[in-house]
Amino acid sequence: MRNPRFDIARGWLIVAVIAGHIVLGSIHSQPLRYAIYSFHMPLFIVLTGYLINVEKLRTQPLWQSAWRYWQRMAVPFIPALLFFTGTLIVHAYLEGRLSGSLLMAYATTPYYHLWYIPTVLIWVGGLALLLKLRVPLLALVILSLPLPILWAGADLVSVPALLLDKKLFFYAFFFFFGLLLRQVFGQSKRAHALLSSQWRIIMMAALGLSVGLFAMMVVTDFGSSEGLISDALKSNTQAINTQAIEGDSKSGTAHALAWFAMNVTLSIVVLQWCLAASSDFLKIGVSAKGLNGVLSMMGRLSLPIYLWHVVPMFILKGLGIHQSQPLIYYCFSIAFTVILVFVVAKFEHRYELVDRLLYGQFKR
């Protein structure tokens, strides 16, 4: 039976993703965007990892796993990739900027938000292979653990990225951590202990402490005259100011550890809430009506919403309207998002081709 709390949690995260993309201003100068970007992708990736069926990947032939994820994720991704990349190529051609190097950049680094889908596919493919080789999941977590801390605590502009920017490598820990949490919560004795009231209180206290520490550092950063964050971190989850990168390594490490602790504890608390549906822990209704119903639908159908919500921002920013008429930009972007959510909800299971290209749903 499908747990609606996972869909509600993912629905809230999709709302955060949309808000983070709509709000104008750079991450290092806009507090709302800074706050959203500090947690939404790590938590989304943890939930993605948690919902992976590890046993099926371990036992299923590689070609079957590849075909399953091709249908579920790659097929809906391709139309979005063609639309955004095709538009960029046409625009570059009309402006006389089109070159071989630009085409190569478009081919290896998908536009803006599109990095997430091929990155997850690479993680899943790598995981399936490593499971076949009997590599312990805990080893993957330990090996990948330093990467997000290094990313958040150092200027890594010079680190070469083979594909899809550096997110492929530096977000990998959260994917493996989600898988590990599924393994831990899947064991009845450990799950019972972790879902007990004592452990819930402990994790909530740890979350409050880490959020408070991180918030203090963010407030300090926004109050500094030096600016906030290095160019290496502006478009990702970040928690370090320029001054820290340039000379104060202790400050950079403290920022990174506070950000890391916040996301780890937040992930555990959210999973405790999702799995404690029968308890009174953070007892938020999970009925299919009202706001929870909308959030549950958005979480369940998060893929098409994620892929296409950027369209109005993509067009309006290309025309410069976000600078000349920000009110029009906000109104149009919000209205488009509402219409998109409505269309996604209404057109599911209407047409087989739409189910395949938009939702990644294939009849068995």
Q: Comparing C-alpha atoms, which of 56, 160, 171 is closest to residue 116? A: 171
What pLDDT does residue 254 have? Answer: 81
Are 222 and 38 spatial neighbours (Cβ–Cβ below 8 Å)?
A: no
Which residue type is seen at 211? V
CB atoms within 10 A of CB 42: 25
**The overall pTM is greater than 0.85:** yes
CA–CA distances in Å: residue 28 to residues 226, 227, 307, 308? 11, 7, 25, 25
Which residue type is seen at 69? Y
> In this structure, is residue 209 part of a structural domain?
yes
pLDDT band at 220 (very low <50, low <70, confident <90, very high): confident
**How far is residue 43's CA from residue 40's CA, in Å, rounded to a whole number?**
5
Q: What is the 3-state secondary structure (H, E, C) of 245-272?
A: HHCCHHHHHHHHHHHHHHHHHHHHHHHH
pLDDT at residue 167 above 70? yes
pLDDT at residue 358 above 90? yes
How many structural domains comprise the chain?
1
Which helix H or strand E contains 228, and what residues bound it?
none
Mean pLDDT over 71-100 rounds to 94
What pLDDT does residue 364 have? Answer: 62
> In this structure, is residue 251 part of a structural domain?
yes
**Cα three-residue angle 109-318-32, rounded to 5 degrees:** 80
Domain span holding position 122? 4-359
> In this structure, is residue 328 part of a structural domain?
yes
Q: Read off the tokens for 314.
A: 């993509």
Which helix H or strand E contains 55, and what residues bound it?
helix 54-59
CB neighbour list of residue 287: distance below 8 Å, 6 or more residues apart: 293
> In this structure, is residue 57 part of a structural domain?
yes
What pLDDT does residue 236 have? Answer: 40
Are 27 and 238 spatial neighbours (Cβ–Cβ below 8 Å)?
A: yes
**How far is residue 146's CA from residue 141's CA, in Å, rounded to a whole number?**
9
What pLDDT does residue 156 have? Answer: 45
Q: Which DSSP string corresponds to 113-155?
A: GGGHHHHHHHHHHHHHHHHHTT--HHHHHHHHTHHHHHHHHS-
pLDDT tens profile 248-277: 445 577 888 889 999 999 999 999 999 875
**How far is residue 110's CA from residue 86's CA, in Å, rounded to a whole number?**
11
Are 266 and 38 spatial neighbours (Cβ–Cβ below 8 Å)?
A: no
> In this structure, is residue 364 part of a structural domain?
no
CA–CA distances in Å: residue 127 to residues 26, 132, 296? 34, 9, 28
Q: Comparing C-alpha atoms, which of 37, 41, 11 is closest to residue 171? A: 41
Q: 348: which DSSP letter?
A: T
What pLDDT does residue 23 have? Answer: 94
Q: Read off the tokens for 253.
A: 């490490």
